[in-house]
Structure 1
Amino acid sequence: MPELPEVETTRRGVAPYAEGRVVRDLVVREGRLRWPVPAALPDLIRGQKIDRIERRAKYLLFHTRVGTLLVHLGMSGSLRVLQGVPPQPMKHDHVDVVLADGNLLRYNDPRRFGCFLWLSPGEDHPLLSSLGPEPLSDEFCGELLFRRSRGRNGPVKSFIMDGHVVVGVGNIYANEALFLSGIRPDRAAGRISAARYEQLANNIKQVLTSAITQGGTTLRDFVGGDGKPGYFAQQLYVYGRAGLPCKACGALLREQRLGQRATVYCVTCQR
């Protein structure tokens, strides 16, 4: 599914075409998403100017004067900019945000696990209220991970993927950051030192920043707001490489399931 770098790539691709533009219409062809699209949503946003587009975790927030459109891409969704005369909608093109300048944002989601919801000004939505800090913010650091991990016996990989601890560290990037930090993903979170957590926090920032710069990771469905794929997959050290040689030491990479997610690691490089 699209993870934080893919969502940030989408935000950066869409923002130049949507910020400062007025929404002429919202066309909902299929409203049965993970949460039903509110019937009143087109009337709420029609005629409103999109002041700015913000990302919070894996959510996109389209801020207007009268409220905020909350968008999630789900497991297989994409939001693309279409200029000029748009092509006829395909089977899974569920929502169009039609802009007054003639361009539109088209939401495609084969599995319908995304959402289009509305937040009134000042509303604290349950989807956002309990989220942890952003991983690229100053608030996120090794000391925070060390403090929140005390007494936890679960795997460190599951710990850093917990959105209450820190948002947006999805499966791909958790695998990669743990490899760069030399930490086995199944090691108990509460048994890792402050120094190693500082290294892990820095590597999480590095991996996510690199992925954003390169447009995300193309795995099956993802494309950015401009319709182009991401390219970070070319630099993956462990994710998706089970049974292949480690790029650092040559040992064969192993795979196990942690939290029902594929987890790949090097028994030599990670302790």
Structure 2
Amino acid sequence: MPELPEVENVRRGLTALIVGKTVQAVGTDWAKILVGGLEGFQQALTGATVTAVERRGKYLLLRFDNALTLVSHLRMEGKYQLVLDPAEPKHRFVHVWFTFSDGTQLRYHDMRKFGRMQLVPTGSEATAVAGLAKMGPEPTAETFAAPAFYRELRRHKQAVKSVILDQSVVAGVGNIYADETLWLAELNPEQPACTLTQKEAARLHDAIIAELAAATDLGGTSVHSFVDASGKRGGFQERLHVYDREGTGCDRCGTTIVKIKVGQRGTHYCPKCQPLRKRKLR
């Protein structure tokens, strides 16, 4: 958390709130968030104007008119807020702030301090940022090809859930949507990826695209602390079928949802709808 739908909604909010604003100052009380340190951010961004806010996978890309891009990864708890008065007291979890020439201030909240921001020349993100270098396709019909996905699954003997969490396979899927898409596709999260049939892989492919699109349209999922850049909670938590629903009945068959660990991640599924099928490893 946040995953692709949440980050996309943050992107949309920031686009409306900060594009066209010029940075007057950068501040922090936890410099580790700023890769390279505060001084470099101050020198590079003072006087620079935000021209666009884009997204790649779970990363935000803030474009500036000086040919630099700020790559922001929210990690577990990161969130942005625009305040109209920089003199307004900062919450104790505000660790980075960008003051604009119009008197507003963009504040970055991060309770765990796991998030990171990195400045790179615009256009170099894919090579300059480790997490973007091997990023897989975006989960859309135009960029995420079912045949290529099936070939990728055949290469992996580990659990299919672990494979779709790998950002080099498909961008943006995290723990919540991995559980949900596997439920939609009626696949066991522990099923070895290489044992999926082409039909099963196609169902999973289509479920990933549909689920992430639906979650994005509803503002993302706020099961914990997620809010968008305007402070609004998502609405997709009302449509979760298995995630965080252990002990309740499956929406499809009524069987009790169970929780296990797959690759050290809490995992929810329906034992009846998603049976583990014994097949030879390919």
Tell me the TM-score normalised to structure 1 length.
0.95
Q: Which moved more, 1:261-270 or 1:95-104?
A: 95-104
Match of 1:154 in 2: 158
Give percent identity, aligned residues only: 35
Match of 2:75 in 1: 74
Structure 2 alignment gaps of length 5 or more:
276-282
Amino acid at match of 1:97: F
Q: How many residues were matched structurally?
A: 271
2: CA distance, partners of 1:238 / 1:216:
16
Q: Which moved more, 1:39-48 or 1:166-175?
A: 39-48
Match of 2:217 in 1: 213
Check conservation: 1:26, 1:95, Cα contact below 8 A. Answer: yes
Change (3 A) 1:119 1:137: farther
Residue by residue, what CA displacement relative to the aligned partner does 1:94-116 show, whole Å, maximum 9, x if unpaired?
11122222222110001100012
Residue by residue, what CA displacement relative to the aligned partner does 1:17-47 show, whole Å, maximum 9, x if unpaired?
1112212222222212385644311110111
RMSD: 1.6
Match of 2:280 in 1: none
Residue by residue, what CA displacement relative to the aligned partner does 1:97-143 show, whole Å, maximum 9, x if unpaired?
22222222110001100012110244321231111111125121321
2: CA distance, partners of 1:37 / 1:110:
19
Amino acid at match of 1:24: Q
Q: Does 1:19 align with 2:19?
A: yes
Check conservation: 1:38, 1:117, Cα contact below 8 A. Answer: no
Match of 1:57 in 2: 57
1: CA distance, partners of 2:115 / 2:92:
16
Check conservation: 2:86, 2:105, Cα contact below 8 A. Answer: no
Change (3 A) 1:5 1:86: farther
Secondary structure, counterpart of 2:50 in structure 1: coil
Secondary structure, counterpart of 1:32 in structure 2: helix
Amino acid at match of 1:158: S
Residue by residue, what CA displacement relative to the aligned partner does 1:53-88 show, whole Å, maximum 9, x if unpaired?
111111111111321111111211111122346621
Check conservation: 2:63, 2:122, Cα contact below 8 A. Answer: no
Match of 1:178 in 2: 182
2: CA distance, partners of 1:202 / 1:235:
18
Amino acid at match of 2:186: G
Check conservation: 2:246, 2:258, Cα contact below 8 A. Answer: yes
Change (3 A) 1:34 1:246: farther
Match of 1:193 among 186, 190, 197: 197
Q: Does 1:136 align with 2:140?
A: yes
Residue by residue, what CA displacement relative to the aligned partner does 1:205-263 show, whole Å, maximum 9, x if unpaired?
11111111111111222111001111111110000011111011111111110011111
Amino acid at match of 1:75: M
Match of 2:242 among 220, 225, 238: 238
Secondary structure, counterpart of 2:33 in structure 1: coil
Match of 1:29 in 2: 29
2: CA distance, partners of 1:34 / 1:96:
11
Check conservation: 1:68, 1:118, Cα contact below 8 A. Answer: yes
Q: Which moved more, 1:211-220 or 1:131-140?
A: 131-140
Match of 2:207 among 184, 203, 209: 203
2: CA distance, partners of 1:144 / 1:106:
40
Secondary structure, counterpart of 2:60 in structure 1: strand
Change (3 A) 1:178 1:34: farther
Structure 1 alignment gaps of length 5 or more:
none
Check conservation: 1:142, 1:199, Cα contact below 8 A. Answer: no
